[in-house]
């Protein structure tokens, strides 16, 4: 019996991620090194005999940020049959062979955390700013971001997406569509804990922390790296 798989891929390196600046709604492009590492990841992980088999992907959710769309998802080389939402036309097959019939959906549900007043600041700068205001040390999971999103805001949009995925794809994994059940999410790494909880909520009876037993994998930072659980 096939089990559902959820691949969560973060965009590649940007100038801001390289120097530790919090990047939410600002559309920062990938660095040359970031693009190089994404391409390497695509070659290593995407293919019929690889971890991510394009022909088995059912749907891809992607952030509205261009660094997630044009400079990461495209570079992975999934080979979508239809044109990508942000493209006027699909690349000719001579440049990009068709490898999957999966649809790609741009959604705010998997976008980066809106850092509000902390956008573009490093953690050290945020700590200093809060100290000047007499505020407690910053914990994003408790305090959220003034002018941006709270943890509850992020939870609401991710929980709604998880409910959608369960309704659309979970039952199919045990029925006629069991051979095509992979879902891809191209989002900020902060989304992972929510999907991890989603994995635990499925019907497999296990208490293991490693979600690999139900076919869930992390592909952090769109680069070759051993997942940490």
- What are the structural domains of the chain? 5-176+197-201 (3.40.50.1240)
Average pLDDT over the chain reads 79
- Cα 188 to Cα 8: distance, rounded to the nearest angstrom: 9
Residue 211 pLDDT greater than 70, yes or no: no
- Choose the catalytic residue: 13, 22, 74, 112: 112
**pLDDT, position 226:** 36
Binding site, annotated residues for substrate: 23-24, 67
- Choose the catalytic residue: 11, 22, 186, 188: 11
111-139 pLDDT, tens digit each: 999 999 999 999 999 999 999 999 999 99
Residue 206 pLDDT greater than 70, yes or no: no
Judge whether 95 counts as a catalytic residue.
no
Mean pLDDT of 70-98: 88
Judge whether 93 counts as a catalytic residue.
no
Higher pLDDT: 153 or 177? It is 153
- Contact, 26 vs 116, CB < 8 A? no
> Would you state the torsion angle of the CA atoms of residues 19, 22, 26, 32, taken in this order, to the nearest 10 degrees?
30
Higher pLDDT: 187 or 6? It is 6
Confidence of residue 161 (pLDDT cuts 50, 70, 90): very high
């Amino acid at each position: 019996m096939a089990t559902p798989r959820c691949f969560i891929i973060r965009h590649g390196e940007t100038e801001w991620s390289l120097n530790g600046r919090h990047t939410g709604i600002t559309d920062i492009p990938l660095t040359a090194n970031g693009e190089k590492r994404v391409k390497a990841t695509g070659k290593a992980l995407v293919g019929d005999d690889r971890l991510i088999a394009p022909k088995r992907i059912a749907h891809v959710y992607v952030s509205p940020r261009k660094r997630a769309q044009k400079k990461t998802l495209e570079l992975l080389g999934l080979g979508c049959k239809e044109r990508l939402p942000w493209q006027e036309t699909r690349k000719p097959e001579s440049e990009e062979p068709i490898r999957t019939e999966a649809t790609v959906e741009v959604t705010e549900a998997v976008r980066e955390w809106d850092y509000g007043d902390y956008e573009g600041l490093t953690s050290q700068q945020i700590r200093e700013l809060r100290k000047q205001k007499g505020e407690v040390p910053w914990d994003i999971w408790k305090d959220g971001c003034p002018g941006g999103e709270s943890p509850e805001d992020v939870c609401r949009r991710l929980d709604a997406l998880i409910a959608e995925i369960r309704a659309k794809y979970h039952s199919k994994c045990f029925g006629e569509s069991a051979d095509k059940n992979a879902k891809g999410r191209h989002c900020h790494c902060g989304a992972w804990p929510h999907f991890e909880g989603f994995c635990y909520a499925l019907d497999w009876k296990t208490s293991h922390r490693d979600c690999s037993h139900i076919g869930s994998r992390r592909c952090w930072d769109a680069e070759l790296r051993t997942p940490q659980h």
